[in-house]
Amino acid sequence: MEHHSLVRVDKLLQGRYPTLTSRQIEEALTHHLITGDRGQWLKKGSRVEPDFTLDTQRLDHHMANLHSQADVPITIVAEEPNWFVIDKPAGIHSHPISLFDRNTVSNWFLKNYPQIRNEFSQVQPAISPHRLDRDTSGLLIVAKAQAGYNHWRALFSEKKVTKNYLAWCWGSPSQDLFTVDAPIGHTPGQRGRMTLSEEGTPAVSQVTVVQKESDHFLCEVEIRTGVTHQIRVHLSSQGFPILGDSLYDKNFVRRRSQPTHQLLRAYSLRANAHNYSLPREFPKA
């Protein structure tokens, strides 16, 4: 067979497991959860024939067990025919990042509501149509069925969803109401970090100061765009990093004190006839 007809084994696997990220595929290969039909180990860049036989039993077994061990504190705020609305605690992921993550929102729902597995045919689905950062708490939609997932994805894509957050920030703003209108993109050479970028995705954050202290303040931030780390990047760009945010606070290690998690909380989510909210209070840790 000609060399140009060979395919990379990780690309072959991505076609079979479309909801697994490239990182998760690499983890499966590194930990030998996927081998050749004769038990041979495979690397990410290995090239094989398109009809190469893969043994995926270990991966499938691993995936099945993930849904039986999730143990996280989930509070359900509302239950609709096709989705849940929860209050996600700080410190847990919305969905698995690593193939070995167990205590995520997705894992918990797949364990406690096994009927959801029948609604999503893909392996390890991201059943939340949007996301909150691990250390951000508050309202999160979790789909019961594909119809619910698609409904909310369309609302977010069409920018019909308004979200309000509360954030404790360092600094003392001169204005009680201001808007940050600046596109955001990935920071070159720094995986997982975002920055203001003219070539980035448009993002607008409306900020209202709620309470002032000596060197920090509580504010409400309203957004319709949902760019990764939007509020954290926008506030830090104005000189007001969020308390507990080690990624975007350049003075993080010199602060007099820091909470365990960044103090950012999604308390309101509205779209068309949908309106969900939590108490508009966020005590400082």
The residues assigned a catalytic role are 133
Q: SS3 letters for 127-194?
A: CCCCCCCCCCEEEEEEECCHHHHHHHHHHHHCCCCEEEEEEEEECCCCCCEEEEECCEEECCCCCCCE
CA distance 218 to 173: 11
Neighbours of 237 (CB within 10 A): 16
Contacts (Cβ under 8 Å, ≥6 apart) of 70? 102, 103, 104, 107, 108, 110, 111, 112
CA distance 220 to 167: 6
Q: Which conformational region is residue 70 in: left (phi greater than 0), alpha (psi within -120 to 50 degrees), or beta?
A: beta
Look up residue 131 and give its amino acid.
R
Contact 282, 276 (CB under 8 A): no
DSSP state of 242: B
Neighbours of 255 (CB within 10 A): 15
Long-range contacts of 32-37 (CB under 8 A, 24+ apart): 32/58, 33/58, 33/59, 33/62, 33/99, 34/58, 34/59
Contact 72, 105 (CB under 8 A): yes
